[in-house]
Amino acid sequence: MHGNSAKRWRLPLVVLFSAALLALGGLAVAGNPNEREVKPGANAQDADDIKKPDSKVWVLDFKFKDPRLIKVNIPGRGEKICWYVWYQVINNTKEPRLFVPDFELVTNDKGKVYKDQVLPAVQKAIQQLEDPTDYLKIKNSVTIASEPIPVSKPNATPIAVTGVAVWDDVDPDANQYSIFIAGLSNGWAVTDPIAADGKPIVRRKTLQLNFKRIGDRFFMKSEEIKFQGPAEWIYRGSTLEVPGLPKEVKRVEPPMDKDK
C-alpha cells in the first residue's frame, strides 16, 4: 500500500513540475516584459472595416518601449539630453506595406510640439545600449521607409523591423506627454472645414500613446516616464500629402486636442 501511495503522489508532482516549465516557457515566448504591443484598432472614421480580409484600410502592428533619455554629445550642438522611443513594426496584412513614419511628441502641459529628428550620433549611442551586436539593425525614420515592411506569415515567427524615433531639446519642465505615430495605416478622412479659408481638412489614422513623468528637471531619469494606457487609434490633422486627394483639400498642422 505504501508503494502504491508513493506512486500516486509522484505523478501529480511530475505533472505540476512540467506545467510550471511550460508556463515559464510561455512567458519567454510572449516577449520582453519591457515591450508593449499595440494591435490594429478600429475607429468610427475608418472608410472600411479593418477586420475584413479584403478591407481597403490596412493597419500595421506596433511594439514599443516607454520613452527613454540619453545624454549625447551631438556635433555642432554640444551635450544634449535626448528623448527616444525604440519600436518595432510588424506587417500582418496581405501585402508588403511601405511605412513612412511621422512621429510627434507633444507636451500637453506646455503646449509644445516636437518632430522626430535623424541624429546619427544619437542613433549610434542608442544602438550601443539597445542592440550592441547590431543584430536588429535599428533604423531611423528615413531608412525604415526605404523598403516595404514584409508580410509576416500566419503561425510563423513575425518579421519585426526595428526603428527608433528621437527628439532633442524637449522642455525639461514638462510632465505630460503624448506621442503620435502616423504612417502605420493608409486610413485617412476628409472632415468639414474649420479653417478660415473654408477648405476641408485631411485627418490621418494615427496611433496616440500617452505618458507621464514623475519628478522635475533636476531629477530626469528614464524610469520616471510611465505609460498612461490605453493606446488609442485616432484621426488627426496632418501636414503630409495624401495621394489621390484633390489639390484644393487643405493640409493643416495637427491640433493639440485628442480628436477621434
Tens-digit pLDDT profile for residues 196-240:
566 677 889 999 999 999 876 656 778 889 999 999 999 998 655
What is the dihedral sign for C-alpha 234, 235, 241, 242?
positive
* Rounded Cα gap, residues 114 and 195, in angstroms: 23
Q: What is the mean pLDDT of residues 62-76?
A: 95
What was the pLDDT predicted at 202?
A: 82
Neighbours of 64 (CB within 10 A): 23
Judged against a pLDDT cut of 70, whether residue 131 lies above it is answered with yes
How high is the pLDDT of residue 193?
61
Per-residue pLDDT at 237: 83
> For residues 85 and 103, is the Cβ–Cβ distance under 8 A?
yes
Which CA distances in Å does 205 have to 23, 122, 251? 37, 29, 14
The model's pTM is 0.78
| Average pLDDT of the residues of the chain | 82
* 229 Cβ contact list (under 8 Å, min separation 6): 210
Query: pLDDT, tens digit, for every residue of 70-104?
Result: 999 999 889 999 999 999 999 999 999 999 999 99
Q: What are the backbone dihedrals phi and psi of residue 23, each rounded to the nearest 5 degrees, phi first?
A: -65, -40
Question: Which helix (H) or strand (E) covers residue 2, if one does?
Answer: helix 2-30
**Closest by Cα among 122, 104, 124, 123 to 114:** 104
Res. 43: pLDDT tops 70: yes
User: What is the mean pLDDT of the segment spanning 136-141?
Assistant: 96
Among residues 92, 181, 97, which one has the least CA distance to residue 141?
181
* Dihedral (Cα; 55, 95, 162, 43), 10-degree rounding: -10
User: Which run of H or E residues covers position 19?
Assistant: helix 2-30
Q: Which of 229, 209, 224, 205 is nearest to 81 (CA)?
A: 224
Do the beta carbons of residue 76 and residue 168 sit within 8 Å? Answer: no
pLDDT classification of 189: cutoffs 50, 70, 90: confident
Residue 2 has pLDDT above 70, yes or no: no
**192 in the Ramachandran plot: left (φ > 0), alpha (ψ -120 to 50) or beta?**
beta
**Listed range (117-121, 172-176, 227-231, 243-247) with the worst mean pLDDT:** 243-247
| Burial (CB count within 10 angstroms: exposed 0-12, middle 13-18, buried 19+), residue 130 | middle
